[in-house]
Structure 1
Amino acid sequence: MQRHSAEYLKRQKSMDRPAVEVFLYKDKEQSSNLLLQLNRLRQEKILTDVLLCSDKSEIPCHRNVLVSSSPYFRAMFCNNFVETQQMKISLKGITSAILCSIIDYVYTGLINISMEIVLPLMQAASMLQYGRLFEACSSFLQEQLNPDNCLSMIRLSDIMNCNTLRDKAKEMAMKSFSDVSASEDLYDLSLPEIMGYLEDDGLCAEEEQVFETLVAWIHHDPLSRSGAISDLFKKVRLRYVHPTYLFQFIANDPLIQSSTLCTELIECVRRLMFSVSTKCNDNTAVDFQPLWVAPRRCTYHDMLVLVGGRKNNEQTSREALVFDDSSQKWQWLAKLPVRLYKASYVALHSVLYVIGGLTTNTKYRQISTTVYTLSLKTNQWRTAEPMLEPRFGHQSVTYLHFIFVLGGLGPDRQSTDSVERYNSMFNQWESMAPMPKAVLHPAVAASNKRIYVFGGEDTMQSPVRLIQVYHITRNMWSMMENRTVKNVSAPAATVDDKIYIVGGYTRRMIAYDTKANRFIKCANLKERRMHHSATVLNNKLYITGGRYVNGHNVIEDSDTFECYDPETDTWTTKGTLPHKLFDHGSLTMTCVSQTWVKS
């Protein structure tokens, strides 16, 4: 009985013990030590069973190591090939020095790559199917890329069938085309190759430079390349070429004049700009519409520019600022030459125009006809042809290569209905049909060959419930009464076929659908806003500064910086401006330089 009890207790104790766990031991040094030992065996020629021969050198190796390291050697030694029976294997096309380096790499995982050996090393790695070594050579070459050699690197990558190198070299060629176009390698491009660059939307180049590049390429071998002028010229997006450059320089180029098709294309542009229509002559030998609507290239990127206005409720500001959406930072441009009150501000052909205004930094205030221009290339202010009439508190809007100036206060400081148009092609102003009704502080925008003037106020400071429409091609006005319109000191901006009227002594924002001729209610502003500015950047509205009515019904200056997305009908805050600002210009300009001079 006692014996049975003891056996039972023993069994119980054994059942109570925890199960033995499996311990997985991983020796981190095993693989490296194994390679080290194999390399020693190779160096001491122990158990080596094959000699790799190149030039007059013989390198002893282990077949199993070679088979394990490369599909090339696996195929050679593991199939019914003659090499399986041979002690010596001759590798043609690989120098002994390169072969020694590769075998060292196989046994150690280490190799020195330099410009002197990278190409034969890459070729050998490709032949022997060492993929990681091949990509290491590609990475080394990518580190050596610069605008002077990226085109030759593309040719090399094609020979080597190296996609990673080609992609990086092509990316550099596209982004640094200004420098690449000056390299000697450009002239060696074939016609399909240069066509491929010039037609790419991602090419970082202005259209003027695209034209100069194709001309230089043709002049390098005029006998065989002159016939390609018309095909190449179609890749220049003439809509974005400055009119002066197009009609005074390009049109007079002997190469262009030698091609009937090229001269027809230029004539098409001339007709489109003069008639402000969207159709060209039906007799033209090429369908111009696709060329005209081609998008702007990825030249650089669009940036938001603020200029003038009233700063911190003090005197008028001479400052011009630029906001880079990618870095979310403000930088200062060169200051305006004079202080101007209620000037107008527009951007055309990557040039900022400050038009008219009341000068405030002189003893006697004068109403100005002066037009100041700022190019982001030079960051320097210049003067253009002055307006025909002095005015301030007016509105300006661009359409194609024209600037239209509407209304405002004239030389007698009374509201005026006069309209004038600046032709940037010829640097001259001309009078146009006057507005049906003179209004101050309306919302103005252009769309589909029309200029829309919404609301504003009359001389008694009463809101005007009118939409005045200027038909650009006919130089005629029409009027529409509309009870929805009740805006004063509100900006307007166009996105697609809709004109957005933002605030104007109200929180309301409405969109006018120009095709459907109806208003659409949008998400409200946070406060009642006026004297602010709006511009379109990447199909979104950016609203800056202005004045607002606070909770105590007191008007205050604002430094707000907000963004409206038409697709989602939502507002987001972009932070604040560097200072409070109102009655300023807010514009979108293509960044072509980053050499701003801080004020």
Structure 2
Amino acid sequence: MQVNVLESCLRSDALNVPSEEAVVMSLLRWTRHDLSRRQKLLPGLLSLTRLHHLPATVIKTLRDSDSLLCNGESCLALLSEAQSRQDQYNGLLSDARPATTQSYIYIHKTEENGEIRHTFCYCLETDRWKELGTGHGEVTATMPNPPGSYITSFAEKIFVTGGCRGNCCRAIRLHVAEPFHYATDEVWCFCPVTLTCTPAPAMLKPRTTHTAVTCLDRVYVIGGRTTGSRGEAPSLLEVEYYNPLTQTWSSVSPLPTAIFYPEASVCGSVIYTLGSEVEITDSFNPSLDCFFCYDAQQDQWSRLVAEFGQFFHATLVKAVSVNNTLHLCDLSTYKVYSFCPETCVWKGEGSFECAGFNAGAVGMRDRIYILGGDYSPDEITDEVQVYHSGRSQWEEVAPMPRALTEFHCQLISFNRYKDPWGDTA
């Protein structure tokens, strides 16, 4: 293999390998095959691998025992740097090659009484669900989940932001109608690998009923309300992000206007945010009439003009990213639309068979997953449907372990050697 081809492979996210260890070992074999000519190239090529995603024991073995590495100052420095990053940012390094990870849909719901919890995960590779703890189990009890809070995944960890203190209702239509919101600025970091939950630095603004997304290795928190009575608690224009590596919060450009029931989705370095201009209407079906675009690299918001029509409701849509394209799932008409940023036009992409209101939705590469929801207060579903955008086809996959509506739903991936939810866990 030519050096330039090897360099491209080592840089690529698309490299189809079972582990980063396999990448490094293959590079060492390639070097030894023509040692006299290739040894001088090793430090530069090794720097293109992702050493910080090796198991700590492998890094130590390479540093102590591999003759190609332990006798070279540059290579030893790279291994030491990788070990240092791993020690400092364990579980927060988000650049693992997709092929070396196992991806899950993580589901969490706390019932209205605040005590009964349901937590389970779905393995995208095996089409299997696993319950992670129910009822008063120790596992789920370690992660706070106040009413109005939002759960966001970042690398191999889960962040819980904001919410309300006290006894606010958890159901969204009841929560927004509470006479007083005692919003909190608290943030918690839950590690599924170690089953530990630790406080993170507080947000700059207390907020509830907001949304949050991960973009450019930051957790952005958008919208919501702060502390105060229903008529007086100001809606938040302020947007802020958390950098988990530096453990700091920073303010960015504010929203163009207040937004309620925000739905956000990330496409590359762009955050699309949709919602309603009003919080409460007589029928509690606020129209979908806010559509904003935030360029995270430029720190600039813009208001997009795209006709949704009177039949689109902010509480009945889910925004997901598929192949870095924004898709909108309408839970009332069972239709899916994709958005073209150049023409600002929505294009119909087909229909799914059915979906409950308040369903969960996630986008993963070329697929959309629609999970659970309710058809009426007494009819809650456990069904899961998948849309394959490449062939414009829907299929039903394994149902959730329990029928749920209004729950937290996130994608999270782990290095395969650390996977806490695999068959051997």
Same-fold call, TM > 0.5? yes
Alpha-carbon distance in structure 1 between the residues aligned to 2:392 and 2:51? 34
| Runs of at least 5 residues in structure 2 that lack an aligned partner in the other structure | 1-16, 34-38, 134-138, 170-179
SS in 1 for 2:362: strand
Of the three residues 480, 489, 498, the one matched with 2:304 is 480
1:494 aligned onto 2:321: yes
Alpha-carbon distance in structure 2 between the residues aligned to 1:355 and 1:493? 20
1:558 aligned onto 2:357: no
SS in 2 for 1:298: helix
Alpha-carbon distance in structure 1 between the residues aligned to 2:327 and 2:352? 13
1:567 is matched with: 390
C-alpha RMSD of the superposition: 4.4
Alpha-carbon distance in structure 2 between the residues aligned to 1:516 and 1:497? 16
Alpha-carbon distance in structure 2 between the residues aligned to 1:423 and 1:471? 17
Closer, same or farther in 2 for the Cα pair 1:424/1:227, shift >3 Å?
A: closer
1:207 is matched with: 52
1:308 aligned onto 2:101: no
Alpha-carbon distance in structure 2 between the residues aligned to 1:374 and 1:450? 26
Of the three residues 456, 459, 465, the one matched with 2:279 is 459
Closer, same or farther in 2 for the Cα pair 1:536/1:336, shift >3 Å?
A: farther
Of the three residues 334, 337, 340, the one matched with 1:507 is 334
Alpha-carbon distance in structure 2 between the residues aligned to 1:378 and 1:248? 15
Of the three residues 85, 93, 104, the one matched with 1:245 is 85
SS in 2 for 1:335: helix
Matches within 5 A, 1:64-463: 191-192=31-32, 207-209=52-54, 213=58, 216-220=61-65, 221=67, 224-228=71-75, 245=85, 296-308=97-109, 310=111, 318-325=117-124, 326=126, 328-332=128-132, 334-337=139-142, 338-359=144-165, 366-412=182-228, 413=230, 414=233, 415-461=235-281, 462-463=286-287
Alpha-carbon distance in structure 2 between the residues aligned to 1:444 and 1:176? 32
Alpha-carbon distance in structure 1 between the residues aligned to 2:200 and 2:160? 10
Contact 2:127/2:398 (8 A) holds in 1: no
Greater shift, 457-466 or 341-350, is seen at 457-466
* Residue-by-residue CA offset, 1:567-589 (whole Å, 9 max, x unaligned): 12222112422223222221121
- The residue type equivalent to 2:62 in the other structure is W
SS in 2 for 1:481: coil
Contact 2:355/2:373 (8 A) holds in 1: no
Contact 1:503/1:529 (8 A) holds in 2: no
Alpha-carbon distance in structure 2 between the residues aligned to 1:305 and 1:475? 30
SS in 1 for 2:221: strand
SS in 1 for 2:304: strand
Contact 1:395/1:408 (8 A) holds in 2: yes
Contact 2:120/2:130 (8 A) holds in 1: yes
Please state which structure has a larger fraction of its residues in helix.
Answer: 1
Closer, same or farther in 2 for the Cα pair 1:460/1:595, shift >3 Å?
A: closer
Closer, same or farther in 2 for the Cα pair 1:317/1:586, shift >3 Å?
A: farther
SS in 2 for 1:341: coil
Closer, same or farther in 2 for the Cα pair 1:428/1:227, shift >3 Å?
A: closer
* Residue-by-residue CA offset, 1:304-339 (whole Å, 9 max, x unaligned): 1112355xx876853321122415232215204444
2:176 is matched with: none
Alpha-carbon distance in structure 2 between the residues aligned to 1:565 and 1:577? 19
Alpha-carbon distance in structure 2 between the residues aligned to 1:352 and 1:249? 14
Alpha-carbon distance in structure 2 between the residues aligned to 1:555 and 1:249? 45
Once the two structures are TM-superposed, the CA of residue 515 in structure 1 deviates from its matched residue by: 4.9
1:61 is matched with: none
Contact 2:109/2:408 (8 A) holds in 1: yes
Alpha-carbon distance in structure 1 between the residues aligned to 2:21 and 2:30? 19
Alpha-carbon distance in structure 2 between the residues aligned to 1:430 and 1:518? 33
Once the two structures are TM-superposed, the CA of residue 445 in structure 1 deviates from its matched residue by: 0.8
1:580 aligned onto 2:380: no
Contact 1:458/1:464 (8 A) holds in 2: no
Alpha-carbon distance in structure 2 between the residues aligned to 1:535 and 1:206? 30
How many residues align? The count is 361
> Relative contact order, CA 8 A, sep 6+: which one is greater?
2
| Runs of at least 5 residues in structure 1 that lack an aligned partner in the other structure | 1-173, 251-272, 274-291
* Residue-by-residue CA offset, 1:122-171 (whole Å, 9 max, x unaligned): xxxxxxxxxxxxxxxxxxxxxxxxxxxxxxxxxxxxxxxxxxxxxxxxxx
Contact 1:497/1:513 (8 A) holds in 2: no
Q: Normalising by structure 1, what TM-score?
A: 0.52
Alpha-carbon distance in structure 1 between the residues aligned to 2:127 and 2:305? 45
Alpha-carbon distance in structure 2 between the residues aligned to 1:499 and 1:335? 32
2:9 is matched with: none
Greater shift, 524-533 or 297-306, is seen at 524-533
Alpha-carbon distance in structure 2 between the residues aligned to 1:316 and 1:543? 26
Once the two structures are TM-superposed, the CA of residue 555 in structure 1 deviates from its matched residue by: 7.8
Once the two structures are TM-superposed, the CA of residue 383 in structure 1 deviates from its matched residue by: 2.1
Closer, same or farther in 2 for the Cα pair 1:507/1:517, shift >3 Å?
A: same
Q: Normalising by structure 2, what TM-score?
A: 0.70
Alpha-carbon distance in structure 2 between the residues aligned to 1:464 and 1:399? 24
Closer, same or farther in 2 for the Cα pair 1:594/1:422, shift >3 Å?
A: closer
Bigger Rg over Cα: 1
Matches within 5 A, 1:508-527: 508-515=335-342, 517-527=344-354
Alpha-carbon distance in structure 2 between the residues aligned to 1:504 and 1:458? 20
- The residue type equivalent to 2:131 in the other structure is Q
Alpha-carbon distance in structure 2 between the residues aligned to 1:369 and 1:555? 34
Contact 2:322/2:364 (8 A) holds in 1: no
* Residue-by-residue CA offset, 1:16-70 (whole Å, 9 max, x unaligned): xxxxxxxxxxxxxxxxxxxxxxxxxxxxxxxxxxxxxxxxxxxxxxxxxxxxxxx
- The residue type equivalent to 2:129 in the other structure is K
Identity of aligned residues (%): 17
